[in-house]
């Protein structure tokens, strides 16, 4: 599995830093939804699902967390700890997020609106669909 990381262009000057995110420029899709995960309690594992269609980019705008990606054949763990990096999570990838730092703000940009029917929440079902 190829891990796709986007290295955002950092606009820094004597005042500090700025990163601009733009659909179809540095994000490989139309952004239809944005959400962020923060104040995550200790030892929590989030995610634990895949999406049939949805593509996402995850950015730790503050703090750090780990993300496990599983394409049904291979698993990879990525530590996100920089606001400069976006992790692309394509469709049909099982993901789990854990080891959130107390100050972590995980920003997620999504290619579709929220749709419960797009979720695969059982790993065995995910494996069956991948193997098809």
Binding site for ligand TYD (CB under 6 A): 33, 35, 37, 46-47, 114
Which residue, 7 or 114, is less far from ligand TYD as judged by CB?
A: 114
43: left (phi over 0), alpha (psi -120 to 50) or beta: left
Which residue, 37 or 88, is less far from ligand TYD as judged by CB?
A: 37
Question: Closest distance between ligand TYD and the C-beta of residue 61, in Å?
Answer: 16
Whole-angstrom distance, CA of residue 26 vs CA of residue 109 = 12
Could you tell me the end-to-end alpha-carbon distance of the chain, in angstroms, rounded to an integer?
Answer: 18
Question: Closest distance between ligand TYD and the C-beta of residue 16, in Å?
Answer: 29
Whole-angstrom distance, CA of residue 132 vs CA of residue 123 = 14
Which residue in the shown chain puts its C-beta closest to ligand TYD? 46
Which residue, 6 or 108, is less far from ligand TYD as judged by CB?
A: 108
Tokens of 29: 């899709």
**How big is the CA angle at 43 (ends 39 and 88), to the nearest 5 degrees?**
70
Which residue, 47 or 72, is less far from ligand TYD as judged by CB?
A: 47
Question: Closest distance between ligand TYD and the C-beta of residue 48, in Å?
Answer: 6
Question: Closest distance between ligand TYD and the C-beta of residue 68, in Å?
Answer: 13
Whole-angstrom distance, CA of residue 93 vs CA of residue 116 = 16
Whether 123 is catalytic: no
The residues that are catalytic are: 49
């Amino acid at each position: 599995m190829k891990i796709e990381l986007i290295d955002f262009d950092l606009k820094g000057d004597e005042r500090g830093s700025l990163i601009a995110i733009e659909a179809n420029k540095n994000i490989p899709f139309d952004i239809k939804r944005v959400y962020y995960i923060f104040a995550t309690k200790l030892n929590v594992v989030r995610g634990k699902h895949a999406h049939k269609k949805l593509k996402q980019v995850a950015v730790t705008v503050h703090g750090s967390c780990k993300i496990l990606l599983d394409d049904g054949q291979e698993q990879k763990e990525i530590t996100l700890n920089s606001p400069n990096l976006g992790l692309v999570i394509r469709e049909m990838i099982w993901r789990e997020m854990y080891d959130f730092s107390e100050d972590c703000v995980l920003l997620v940009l999504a290619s579709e609106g929220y749709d419960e029917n797009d979720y695969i929440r059982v790993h065995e079902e995910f494996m069956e669909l991948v193997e098809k």
